[in-house]
Structure 1
Amino acid sequence: MVTVEPLTLWGLWLLLGAIVVDLLVGDPPAVPHPVVAIGKLISQGERLWNRGPGSIRRRNGLMLTVGVVIGVYLVTWAGLLMLSRLHAGLALVAELWLLSTTLSIKGLGKAARAVTEPLRHGQLPAARRALGMIVGRDTADLQEREIARATVETVAENTVDGITAPLFWALIGGAPLALAYKAVNTLDSMIGYRNKRYTDFGFAAARLDDLVNWLPARLTALCLWLAALVMPGMHRRAALAGTWRDAPGHPSPNAGWPEAMVAWLLGVQLGGTSTYAGVASHRPTLGVVREPLGVAHIPRAVLMMHGGWVVFTLLMILAVLTRQAWL
């Protein structure tokens, strides 16, 4: 079977190829995307099982989470196995494409630019609409600073969810494990909320997402700092200590690490109050104000995102080469 084996040179080459595919092609709207199918499966399961008292909802949510994640892994593995028996080249192309669909390097940069361009020209309604496509918070009344804050926070957090964490799990278990990770991530984004409807039903999904992102989030924060060593204008001196101090205060055990690191390196303050469906959510602030937060910080955050995943990839290469040297 042609697939990524844990920490092998072959697996590494396949992952590098997937990065190139994502950078060149991204997610063409005309091509079916596995995450869309996963989302439809989750939506159907939620409609059928999210009912009854809290204990029943929690049990049903656990069953849906386990079923979707294991199902995605097995379907991907079996599909690649069947293709490899038909022709090794088919399996290679399929896995390369599947791996590329777990990455959002091009898409994240494009989404950030869609906010930046109208915001730079003072077109707040267009900037709010573009922001509303990538965040869950209310955007209708946001001004420039809050639009910039939301975009920078999203770029920082999604550097993990959309790039480094899929690479991490793909290096360990190829496309089957990378797609299983995306299933966890999609479950959390759809049902992992702390509200009346999802607190119990989405409990297992949210906790599993916390688990699978724990190490990638912290490695990503370190990679962002390492990348900043060669970037001009970054506030590096206090960033490590500041991130260590601020990140644990974030409601998410993982999102705070890349967000805090980006805040400290940019010299801005992230966090604070956001509104979701009319309900205010108060989060601790991250970083210190060295310069006023504005539209100019969005492309700088995107540059940091690129630097972070490049360093992360270099660390993967080092890990594979080190393992090969010891074999």
Structure 2
Amino acid sequence: MILALAMVLDAALGEPEWLWSRIKHPAVLLGQAVDALDTRLNDGSTRRAKGIATTLLLAGGAWCLGWLIAVIPDYGLLEMLGAAILLAQRSLVDHVRAVADALRENLPAGRRAVARIVGRDTAEMTEAEVARAAIESGAENLSDGVIAPAFWFVLGGLPAMLAYKAVSTADSMIGYRTERHAEFGWAAARLDDVLNWVPARLTALLMLTVHGALRHWHRVPNDARQHRSPNAGWPEAAIAPLLGVALAGPRSYEGTVTDFPWVNPTGRRDAGAGDIEAACGILWATWAGALALVMLAAALPTLLWFAAASLAL
């Protein structure tokens, strides 16, 4: 029940500016730790070994911190607050919806809004490219910002959830295949792929299930494999047919256009602000489905006990 309360609290409050303008968000502290270790250790001829040690240190340290919080005798209050802080449903939807609002004003405003949530070049984006980028970001971050943290909480409580967030943060900062991080960030990138393998597929399955659209599932694995990421393609491949749009496709990074394959290639390629709004609805519906599963899992032991007691009478 701790996780269910955390999910509801995150959905209700998101990331209140009044709080995080006064103290540092845990994600910021994790980022500072990654940056410090990158600056100190990422050199020499043993970068991969140092990167492995860095990733294990971050994950292990986060696990220990989560364990210390979880064992405090406070009836799970701090564990619930910690889990709520590490979830990102409300902030995710707010950021994605902001792109739709900006795009309705004008294209330059839409480009500026989407630049806050994606890493690709945005200066020359068309309206459809802005919309697709926002939808793709929403689908991917639903998996690694909401479903994956919740999944790891179910398996290992706050320690596992915090360790996952440490690895995810490290991957987002040093997991890129640049000259500087190809070796040092290798472990963070690979471990992040492993930790997100099940949650990404669970997100896609849940997304289609809550919308009564499992008929699309047979297309999801093939479309997902076209994606450059082993995990991000799954939620994108699920949300694309629900919206009737094609996602992914060509995009530019650091001035270089790469011709990535399309996800749901038969879908419309003229996505707009309305499609972003529809995507936000899908994100909330999927979150609600996940919450229902968490509550059912929490109630299952009690239901089984009542069932056994009834049979014994």
Q: TM-score, normalised by structure 1?
A: 0.87
Shift in Å at residue 142 of structure 1?
A: 1.0
| Residues 1:78 and 2:68 aligned together | yes
Distance 2:249 2:117 in 1: 19
Distance 1:151 1:167 in 2: 23
Distance 2:86 2:264 in 1: 30
SS in 1 for 2:259: strand
Asked if the contact 1:213/1:254 (under 8 Å) is kept, the reply is yes
| Residues 1:298 and 2:284 aligned together | no
- Counterpart of 1:286, as a letter, is V
1:262 aligned residue: 239
Distance 2:208 2:32 in 1: 37
Shift in Å at residue 50 of structure 1?
A: 1.2
Shift in Å at residue 51 of structure 1?
A: 1.2
2:48 aligned residue: 58
How do 1:164-243 and structure 2 match up within 5 A? Answer: 164-229=147-212, 236=213, 239-243=216-220
Shift in Å at residue 18 of structure 1?
A: 0.6
- Counterpart of 1:44, as a letter, is A
Specify which of 80, 88, 93 is matched with residue 96 of structure 1.
80
Asked if the contact 2:69/2:79 (under 8 Å) is kept, the reply is no
Distance 2:126 2:193 in 1: 31
Shift in Å at residue 116 of structure 1?
A: 0.8
| Residues 1:307 and 2:285 aligned together | yes
Shift in Å at residue 280 of structure 1?
A: 2.6
- Counterpart of 1:206, as a letter, is A
Of stretches 306-315 and 194-203 in structure 1, the one that deviates more from structure 2 is 306-315
Shift in Å at residue 112 of structure 1?
A: 1.0
SS in 2 for 1:41: helix
Asked if the contact 2:248/2:262 (under 8 Å) is kept, the reply is yes
2:138 aligned residue: 155
Shift in Å at residue 290 of structure 1?
A: 3.9
Distance 1:146 1:267 in 2: 15
- Counterpart of 1:218, as a letter, is R
SS in 1 for 2:261: strand
Specify which of 13, 23, 33 is matched with residue 11 of structure 2.
23
Shift in Å at residue 320 of structure 1?
A: 4.3
- Counterpart of 1:191, as a letter, is I
1:139 aligned residue: 122
Shift in Å at residue 278 of structure 1?
A: 1.8
SS in 2 for 1:253: coil
Asked if the contact 1:243/1:264 (under 8 Å) is kept, the reply is no
Q: Which 5+ residue runs of structure 1 have no aligned equivalent?
A: 1-12, 230-235
Of stretches 39-48 and 303-312 in structure 1, the one that deviates more from structure 2 is 303-312
Distance 2:69 2:150 in 1: 20
Distance 1:97 1:318 in 2: 21
Distance 1:319 1:253 in 2: 28
2:102 aligned residue: 118
Shift in Å at residue 177 of structure 1?
A: 1.3
- Counterpart of 2:31, as a letter, is G
- Counterpart of 2:218, as a letter, is A
1:284 aligned residue: 261
- Counterpart of 1:17, as a letter, is L
SS in 2 for 1:65: helix
Distance 2:8 2:294 in 1: 16
Number of aligned residues: 300
- Counterpart of 2:204, as a letter, is A
Distance 1:76 1:103 in 2: 15
2:311 aligned residue: none
Deviations 1:164-183 (A, max 9, x none): 11111111222221111111
2:25 aligned residue: 33
Deviations 1:249-275 (A, max 9, x none): 211111110001111221111111222
Shift in Å at residue 321 of structure 1?
A: 4.3
* 1:237–1:322 Cα change, 3 Å: closer
Distance 2:61 2:140 in 1: 27
* 1:57–1:282 Cα change, 3 Å: farther
Distance 1:282 1:101 in 2: 37
Distance 1:194 1:209 in 2: 14
Asked if the contact 1:242/1:264 (under 8 Å) is kept, the reply is no
